[in-house]
Structure 1
């Protein structure tokens, strides 16, 4: 590596063997003694490697498997050195000396618990600060700063412009944990700028340490930790240019952890897979004290599987919890606490606590937690015996993090099992396991110069200056006075010099800074003097605090099935904003649903099941994890080995069938197979999520322009599907691959008015202060912003963001070149051949095309033997209404009883006095019951009570006249006595199906018009 890059551990060992000072030896000895004092029987490999580097205060990137003790490898040496300086009298200055940054609040809680114990033994103080920290705790920290502060990237950004910023004047160490979680997203770019700014507040040289379990690009990660651009030669008084040594030690534990993982294929729906998981847990329990994590890729899957397990596990010694980001903090903390129990893992001795404890009083209970990515990071969850995963983890890093939660020590193989119910997931899981066994992790692409992040930190610099906070100045009072005398302006040159010290912003231009400032100025956030190239804060504080997070604030809508009147799941506001029109069809939990109404006030989407066939159904895949090109290629290679008989597994049955269906060929890493009919084309391409997205957009845009008809497109990591009302010919596709064009420009054009770009524009506009942070997403407003701000940083950044996250321009160019040169072959199959005997015309598409066709419900074969939509709805309405309960209250004697409609007699009478005047009210409607009771006793009723009694009398009249059918109608959602009277008058003596249909129509009418009512 060059002089400005990172250095490997071997290079550092050589460096230190020739520069080994007596002082460094003494520090190492003290650190080793501290490990012994804390009770560590032996050091792990990463701990041994880290000590000599940290003892010399070098920026370091520490990479080691989950369970290797890398947190202690960094923190115990750091705490030892800080404590030694304090106790030796060299450092009596009050202030934060160590800043520990973690991406999740849950990690804050975990680290606080562990670090407090270490720090207290060394006479140091530790505290935690995040968004939930009380104002009292914040004030206390400002008055008496801790020696060690644990926080999140977002909270750090907020502290930089507040009174807490002054506590950083003594800062010496910054530790960034779970670096892989921050590196590839805007939170990483946001944190990188915050780190540069916090260093300016310190009067000391700051050492940075990065911690990670899985990294595919060590050099990029090292530059994130320690990077100094040539710009520092000109502005050596800014940021990391102030005398920093530009070297980063890359300390890697290259001993690969072993993974004992089985892949189980279950040819059944998700509900049946959940039952297989239950049986696996019961069959493989080794101890009553162990806990099991069940990971899924989406929150809906987690909730669905957990609900089935709750009903089907039938074992009092096994409890089932759910853990994901949509649950409250209290619920998540409680689940984590139960998981830890009393036998959490002890890093000191590489043993589980109480391993030999034979206490018979311990409650025998296995905790099964169904979770998403919320538990894949380094939260202490105690002894996890096994990790179960539903579906493919889709990424090597995900599998390492999730399966690595089991047997949380690097010396023991991680234990896991992956349950899949489709061939894609099974062979993909096998491919990921193969990569994991070689330590081959996906590379993480950093965001280059994200302009919304830049804008936020420009405002932060202006607020810092306004607050009188300056680098390395302990005399804050005089500093503040000096700032007020000189003004509170920041020069563009000064801001640019700081920004370009950050690796992600190394190519940021002065025009980027000026464009951001002009937009912020137009929104009244800063005052920008273009002539003098200076800016200062205006209405900046509220903007800065409201936009401290780079994670979009995504509101959730409950999806309510009006037939069963139950919440069946949730949809993000971005989906509702784009597809939430009445009558639209979408897929949730494997079923089609038709939108009846969206209630924005109550955050509800009211839907009904839809069983007919619908073309181009929107499919919500907002949480789906992308599969990279390398994994998809390995899947293709394994497919070829399967059909050659060199891999024998359950998946081979599916692939061998597909091989025959496709005419003795299979799509693999060197071959595209294209199945086509006049209006539908499936391109099988093992190229990964981003490249297939790019190819799909290219094909759709070019072919649509040539045909003059819209070509709809869908893609997944292994397929691209094109459909149109016009005929799509073989030549159309070939021309796309062979013609010359500007690929990036075509993709940019194709993005206009798409969901991805609209959503990105909305969030970027929020971060520039153009849209209120609490505003509900609207694609119409997003389109207006696109038109109005087309030549501003808002649209430029939105386009860059979408291209970065969803597409791979360079990779796609390489694939097209391989197609042109014949390195990648194309095999064509006309599905009409041999399909004359089939009525639907789609039956000849191969079984390998089914995943993308089923997901989008293309063709008659998508639903096997469906009921008509009306028949199916009536059946479910009947089932729900028959299970409804009513409180029957006699209007003569006021006696009451609760009855289910299905058990009610045809003719209803009071069980006590045999009166036929019996009202039906809600089982918990005590107000109406009390009104009836007062009336029976001839007591005086107020206006509200009189109204309730009259309504009960009307219900009693209906029950007297129509009996059980009156109860059926009154069970309808939103069906009051007047509506029930109208339905019963016209349809009470019709067939029951007719009556049920009218009840459901009344329910739909209530739902669709409720938003116009005056509550």
Structure 2
């Protein structure tokens, strides 16, 4: 370390700890971050690959500053996951014990006595989620100043997971409120492996002052990357395979299940056994399907099970079992998971990552792949699996153009170029504004309209885009909903409905949590299912990778009692795919018009790409504007979902039935021709951008976030548009449409 100027800036005890740990040198990100953080006089973002030492890049200098302070200060580490807090507690506790710095985990599973001891000492490292921080402000309003008077740093882990989400707005607001209470600015450190546009991330970390945030971006890629994408074709007619030994107990619906998942599972079984891996299908339903198939193969071949499920509806105990299986070194383990294992939970190194179907985004794929190749000398390995329906009959445009294969190939090509989606930083998230208004009133026992507007919507605040007129309209509407009342002095208080919400534990989360049923077997809770899942007594379901028969449904207690059974189909969980960016769709189009065939595609995937290009050329889609689909016309825009949805809104405003659909916009023809549809868009392009009240006048189902139901209509449209529509990109595309010769 003799040639490291950053190492010399650290406290002597931290230097000795680093030597004792056997570090040969500081990582690139640590060398750059330590001088920026150690003085505690600026905001810093550290962006580096998974396992590049980001946590230490923040905590080594932050703790150095902390122990030099008199009296000792406080670091507030904010994580999106309780599991990450538990991991960080394990990582920090040994170091902090030598420094005599207490570490305080604080979330729903932590005892009241631990929290009480923190509030008595108010120093060290507080590890907390946004929800627990919200609860602390709401319930201990009179002690907030004392609790945070020594605050030295905010450290925000997995920064990308907050940007563009309700929790992100909540987090911005909580940090801002604490700074206002203690009367000073507190340095903020953001840590992330995936950020895209660093300037947008900086403006998120410090609203309105992004240019002042210092950047540490480690470009070192580390491991060699190996990629294989395999194609599988689903037959037009699915019949049970007699070689599988299907018996009479198997349900008819199971016998008609698609055959390709079993083929994919067989390849996974053959190639992943004996090592630790992560497999990402695109939904909880598919997690259940593949876990079941792989468990069944282990059972059939009489080998120990190596495949474990992990998703948000499973109980904490089952998720912990999977995490423990990955961490222990005695036996290999592979997790079949959703994005619950995409973030930085410590599960050790994995040999490979498998992605079934196109990932939600390039950024997500990069985050997932960062789990592989972490051991010195080992490559990072990505296995992709593309399933396409066989051509025949009247195939959809998605089947003809093999869009899943083309999209995955496009995403991998962008990943290899180092591109990934910029963070969605422009969302208004007015749902979260309502929550923060109610929270601040709880913290202070009331507030005036002026106080709330200045705190939350004034210059350099989280909700700066809201005008005074809009805010007053919102307050009046919340009064009509009985969320707020105003006393004779003008102070805003919780109304009857507001009181009920704020006093319930679910208030602290800024995001919607689906009401769920517990799944119980022999007195043991296996996990939960969303209440929207339709269940009947006698039905067989897959859950936690096993088959269960529903014995009883207790509606009042929201509990489903099950027993082990044979047969079964995965429960229909919702969710999965992300919103596709225009850059991805444009790359898909480039691939369809190119002759290059990536070497990482297997023979079937190459055939899919060739078939897609053949159909694309035969239909003349390089110049065609639309595809006739019978009752509908598909306008081929090759734009992202936000621009396509905006185009659909422009058409709906003019009386068409339209919706965003894959690489374009699907429009019901009725009595209109394609030319009529194009003419309408061209007219829209020359007009001024329509007000949202007009553009979304006929739109339904705009309530997507937790408190959207309490927004007045115009503010609901504003927040929806900010999150889901790119009107400027849509109009720019419409302006580029070719004029007809007769015009």
- Specify the TM-score bucket, using the shorter chain as the normaliser: 0.7 to 0.9
Q: Is 2:77 aligned against 1:100? A: yes
Q: For each residue in 1:238-265, what CA deviation from the matched residue of structure 2 results, as whole angstroms up to 9, or x when unmatched?
A: xxxxxxx983111110223553221111
**What are the ranges of 5 or more consecutive residues in structure 2 without an aligned counterpart?**
236-256, 389-401, 520-527, 536-552, 561-571
Q: Given the alignment, which residue of 491, 502, 513 partners 1:553?
A: 513
Which runs of structure 2 are paired with 1:972-1011 in the superposition (5 Å)?
none
Q: Is 2:178 aligned against 1:198? A: yes
Please say if residues 392 and 428 of structure 1, whose CA atoms lie closer than 8 Å, have aligned partners that are also in contact: yes
In structure 2, what is the equivalent of residue 756 of structure 1? 701
- Matched residue SS, 1:819: coil
In structure 1, what is the equivalent of residue 631 of structure 2? 679
Please say if residues 192 and 502 of structure 1, whose CA atoms lie closer than 8 Å, have aligned partners that are also in contact: no
Please say if residues 683 and 720 of structure 1, whose CA atoms lie closer than 8 Å, have aligned partners that are also in contact: yes
In structure 1, what is the equivalent of residue 663 of structure 2? 718
Shift of 1:437: 1.9
- Matched residue SS, 1:382: coil
Seen in structure 2, the aligned counterparts of structure 1 residues 663 and 271 have a Cα distance that, compared at 3 Å, is: closer
Q: Is 2:213 aligned against 1:248? A: yes
In structure 2, what is the equivalent of residue 696 of structure 1? 648
Q: Given the alignment, which residue of 122, 125, 145 partners 2:99?
A: 122
In structure 1, what is the equivalent of residue 225 of structure 2? 259
Q: Is 2:198 aligned against 1:218? A: yes
Seen in structure 2, the aligned counterparts of structure 1 residues 505 and 812 have a Cα distance that, compared at 3 Å, is: same
User: Structure 2: how far apart are the matches of 1:438 and 1:572?
Assistant: 42
Seen in structure 2, the aligned counterparts of structure 1 residues 699 and 746 have a Cα distance that, compared at 3 Å, is: farther
Q: Given the alignment, which residue of 584, 601, 605 partners 1:631?
A: 584
Please say if residues 451 and 516 of structure 1, whose CA atoms lie closer than 8 Å, have aligned partners that are also in contact: no
In structure 1, what is the equivalent of residue 548 of structure 2? none
Shift of 1:23: 13
In structure 2, what is the equivalent of residue 370 of structure 1? 336
User: Structure 1: how far apart are the matches of 2:696 and 2:678?
Assistant: 22
Q: For each residue in 1:383-411, what CA deviation from the matched residue of structure 2 results, as whole angstroms up to 9, or x when unmatched?
A: 21111111111411110111211133698
Q: Is 2:477 aligned against 1:519? A: yes
Which runs of structure 2 are paired with 1:917-956 in the superposition (5 Å)?
none
Q: Is 2:417 aligned against 1:438? A: yes
Seen in structure 2, the aligned counterparts of structure 1 residues 682 and 154 have a Cα distance that, compared at 3 Å, is: same
Seen in structure 2, the aligned counterparts of structure 1 residues 659 and 62 have a Cα distance that, compared at 3 Å, is: closer
CA-based RMSD: 3.8
In structure 2, what is the equivalent of residue 708 of structure 1? none
User: Structure 1: how far apart are the matches of 2:34 and 2:328?
Assistant: 32
User: Which one has more relative contact order, counting CA pairs under 8 Å at least 6 apart?
Assistant: 2
Shift of 1:549: 1.4
Which runs of structure 2 are paired with 1:570-589 in the superposition (5 Å)?
573=532
Please say if residues 431 and 705 of structure 2, whose CA atoms lie closer than 8 Å, have aligned partners that are also in contact: no
- Matched residue SS, 2:654: helix
Please say if residues 65 and 410 of structure 1, whose CA atoms lie closer than 8 Å, have aligned partners that are also in contact: no
Please say if residues 283 and 575 of structure 2, whose CA atoms lie closer than 8 Å, have aligned partners that are also in contact: no
User: Structure 1: how far apart are the matches of 2:349 and 2:714?
Assistant: 48
- Matched residue SS, 2:419: coil
- Matched residue SS, 2:306: strand
Seen in structure 2, the aligned counterparts of structure 1 residues 276 and 659 have a Cα distance that, compared at 3 Å, is: closer
In structure 2, what is the equivalent of residue 297 of structure 1? 282
Shift of 1:191: 0.7
Shift of 1:372: 0.4
Shift of 1:801: 3.2
User: Structure 1: how far apart are the matches of 2:699 and 2:556?
Assistant: 26
Which runs of structure 2 are paired with 1:475-624 in the superposition (5 Å)?
489-490=447-448, 492-493=450-451, 495-497=453-455, 499-500=457-458, 502=460, 504-528=462-486, 534-536=491-493, 542-544=500-502, 546-556=506-516, 573=532, 622-624=575-577
Please say if residues 689 and 717 of structure 1, whose CA atoms lie closer than 8 Å, have aligned partners that are also in contact: yes
Q: Is 2:735 aligned against 1:809? A: no
Which runs of structure 2 are paired with 1:865-944 in the superposition (5 Å)?
none
Shift of 1:299: 0.7
In structure 1, what is the equivalent of residue 673 of structure 2? 729
Seen in structure 2, the aligned counterparts of structure 1 residues 620 and 731 have a Cα distance that, compared at 3 Å, is: farther
TM-score by length of structure 2 reads 0.79
In structure 2, what is the equivalent of residue 664 of structure 1? 618
User: Structure 2: how far apart are the matches of 1:162 and 1:493?
Assistant: 20
Shift of 1:637: 0.4
In structure 2, what is the equivalent of residue 178 of structure 1? 158
User: Structure 1: how far apart are the matches of 2:16 and 2:425?
Assistant: 39
In structure 2, what is the equivalent of residue 339 of structure 1? 326
Q: Given the alignment, which residue of 12, 34, 50 partners 2:33?
A: 50
Please say if residues 62 and 250 of structure 1, whose CA atoms lie closer than 8 Å, have aligned partners that are also in contact: yes
**What are the ranges of 5 or more consecutive residues in structure 1 without an aligned counterpart?**
1-21, 230-244, 343-361, 467-487, 560-568, 581-597, 606-618, 705-710, 769-792, 826-1015
Shift of 1:538: 6.0
Q: For each residue in 1:745-791, what CA deviation from the matched residue of structure 2 results, as whole angstroms up to 9, or x when unmatched?
A: 4875575675532x4387422xx4xxxxxxxxxxxxxxxxxxxxxxx
In structure 1, what is the equivalent of residue 564 of structure 2? none
In structure 2, what is the equivalent of residue 653 of structure 1? 607
Seen in structure 2, the aligned counterparts of structure 1 residues 695 and 415 have a Cα distance that, compared at 3 Å, is: same
User: Structure 1: how far apart are the matches of 2:734 and 2:475?
Assistant: 40
- Matched residue SS, 1:128: strand
TM-score by length of structure 1 reads 0.59
- Matched residue SS, 1:366: coil
Shift of 1:655: 5.0
User: Structure 2: how far apart are the matches of 1:78 and 1:145?
Assistant: 16
Seen in structure 2, the aligned counterparts of structure 1 residues 99 and 667 have a Cα distance that, compared at 3 Å, is: farther
User: Structure 1: how far apart are the matches of 2:428 and 2:229?
Assistant: 41
Q: For each residue in 1:954-1012, what CA deviation from the matched residue of structure 2 results, as whole angstroms up to 9, or x when unmatched?
A: xxxxxxxxxxxxxxxxxxxxxxxxxxxxxxxxxxxxxxxxxxxxxxxxxxxxxxxxxxx
Shift of 1:148: 0.9
Q: Is 2:359 aligned against 1:393? A: yes
Seen in structure 2, the aligned counterparts of structure 1 residues 761 and 646 have a Cα distance that, compared at 3 Å, is: closer
Q: For each residue in 1:861-902, what CA deviation from the matched residue of structure 2 results, as whole angstroms up to 9, or x when unmatched?
A: xxxxxxxxxxxxxxxxxxxxxxxxxxxxxxxxxxxxxxxxxx
- Matched residue SS, 1:160: helix
User: Structure 2: how far apart are the matches of 1:519 and 1:297?
Assistant: 39
